[in-house]
Amino acid sequence: MSNDILLEVKNLKVEFQVRRGIVRALDGVNFSIRRGQTMGIIGESGSGKSVTARAIMQLLAKNGNIADGEIIFHQPSHNESGQSKSINLTQLDPDGDAVRSLRGGEIAMIFQEPMSSLTPVYTTGTHIGEAVQLHLKPYRKVANQMGNSIRKQHNVSKKEARDIAIELLDRVGIPRAHEQVDSYPHQLSGGQRQRVMIAVALSCNPSLLIADEPTTALDVTTQAQINDLMLEIQEEYNMAIMYITHDLGVIAEVAKDVAVMYMGRIVETGDIDSLFYSAKHPYTNALLASIPRIGQVRGRRLEAIKGMVPDPFNVPSGCAFRNRCYDYMEGICDKSIPALQPINDNQSSACFLHHRVSQSS
């Protein structure tokens, strides 16, 4: 394992128990995230992006469970030894102390719906202050400004937590932070709420930030500002970001590495340039064909991906994309599931066009 890997997801399978039976939401997900880098996760609605994020956070709904696989977090060292500690998150009790201290501390998440993750009766200051007090690993810059006294005491007073909240609100571009610290979520605009979410997530200086469609509900200008802000902070604090979206344009702006999801599996991974200029998997190519490009002949119709995402209770045998694929090979694609395999230095693909390795179940 290379030293710059922060998180490895290996053969992750997640199932949900529903009335009709079992939904296999993730069916062998494999990818890794490098320290300080952005991994973009892209795929159509229902492909399993949020479930992947929630599995990493150990925040699956009550009817869901991890049926197989590993999520290895290579926890960075916070002492002089420089040795990182590797933890398999799937082995931890989802309600236990170890998970709670990692969640919000080392790994923070910005959820798809900011309104539902901010408590309406708490002020912004309380949201951030609580996170800081809970994890006792304050925002590095503020801690340094305060002469390290906070970190030494490992105890943050209410007043200090409020000061940190103001500093953070200011950092994420909330105007008049010293006043807004006392605002309630409904008094803020959508963009401001998303900035508060980022401030809460950053309050503990996480080494991994999971951002699940963090800008979907915002206008294009605010989207760009929020994304720039995340990248700026990423650089400052060497934070890795797992950025989930179904917007390829956003991915091109923010990510270095990309994983493409379809029906609970990663079908292609690679660096952003390889993905945009020489995508390998037919699903990735179909996604790319469905977005407008500069230079494209005006009036030309964008190609929609033919067919529909299969019903989770009626997934075709073999490759789950085969009934929508222009390169379908009878007798091959319907017989077994293609494994995700490296096909050059930068890319991996789960397609029998590129190799003949099947996924073991």
Ligand X SMILES: Nc1ncnc2c1ncn2[C@@H]1O[C@H](COP(=O)(O)OP(=O)(O)OP(=O)(O)O)[C@@H](O)[C@H]1O
Is residue 61 part of the contact set for ligand X (CB under 6 A)?
Answer: yes
CB of 257 to ligand X, least distance (A): 18
Among 50, 52, 123, 180, binds Mg ion (CB under 5 A): 50
| Partner in contact with 107, chosen from Mg ion, ligand X, none, beta carbon below 5 to 8 Å by kind | none
CB of 315 to ligand X, least distance (A): 11
Residue whose token pair is 């869901």? 64
Count of residues engaged in binding ligand X, rule: CB under 6 A: 17
Instruction: Give whichever of 137 and 281 is closer to ligand X, judged by the CB atom.
Output: 281
As a 3-state breakdown, the chain gives helix, strand, coil percent values, each rounded to 5, of: 35, 25, 45
CB of 235 to ligand X, least distance (A): 27
Instruction: Give whichever of 216 and 336 is closer to Mg ion, judged by the CB atom.
Output: 216
Alpha-carbon Rg for the chain, nearest whole angstrom, is: 21
Among 8, 10, 46, 358, binds ligand X (CB under 6 A): 46
Q: Rounded CA gap, 116 and 193, in Å?
A: 11
CB of 16 to ligand X, least distance (A): 3
Among 191, 206, 312, 338, binds ligand X (CB under 6 A): 312
76-to-81, 87, 238, 352 alpha-carbon distances in Å: 11, 11, 11, 38
Asked whether 171 and 124 are in contact (CB, 8 A), the reply is: no
| Partner in contact with 246, chosen from Mg ion, ligand X, none, beta carbon below 5 to 8 Å by kind | ligand X
Backbone angles phi, psi at 308, to 5 degrees: -125, 155
- Identity (one letter) of the amino acid at 17? Q
Backbone angles phi, psi at 280, to 5 degrees: -105, -45
Is residue 52 part of the contact set for Mg ion (CB under 5 A)?
Answer: no
Is residue 283 part of the contact set for ligand X (CB under 6 A)?
Answer: no
Is residue 81 part of the contact set for ligand X (CB under 6 A)?
Answer: no
Phi-psi group of 215: left, alpha or beta (phi > 0 → left; psi -120 to 50 → alpha; rest → beta):
alpha
Asked whether 13 and 246 are in contact (CB, 8 A), the reply is: no
- Identity (one letter) of the amino acid at 176? R
Is residue 47 part of the contact set for Mg ion (CB under 5 A)?
Answer: no
Give the other-Cβ count within 10 Å of 58's Cβ.
21
Among 9, 30, 42, 48, binds ligand X (CB under 6 A): 48
Nearest to 20 by CA among 317, 334, 345, 313: 313
By CB under 6 A, which span of 39-47, 65-73, 223-231, 353-361 interacts with ligand X?
Answer: 39-47
| Partner in contact with 269, chosen from Mg ion, ligand X, none, beta carbon below 5 to 8 Å by kind | none
CB of 311 to ligand X, least distance (A): 9
Is residue 16 part of the contact set for ligand X (CB under 6 A)?
Answer: yes
Is residue 215 part of the contact set for Mg ion (CB under 5 A)?
Answer: no
Asked whether 267 and 29 are in contact (CB, 8 A), the reply is: no
Residue sitting closest to Mg ion (CB)? 50
Give contact residues for ligand X (rule: CB under 6 A): 16, 18, 23, 25, 43, 45-51, 61, 63-64, 246, 312
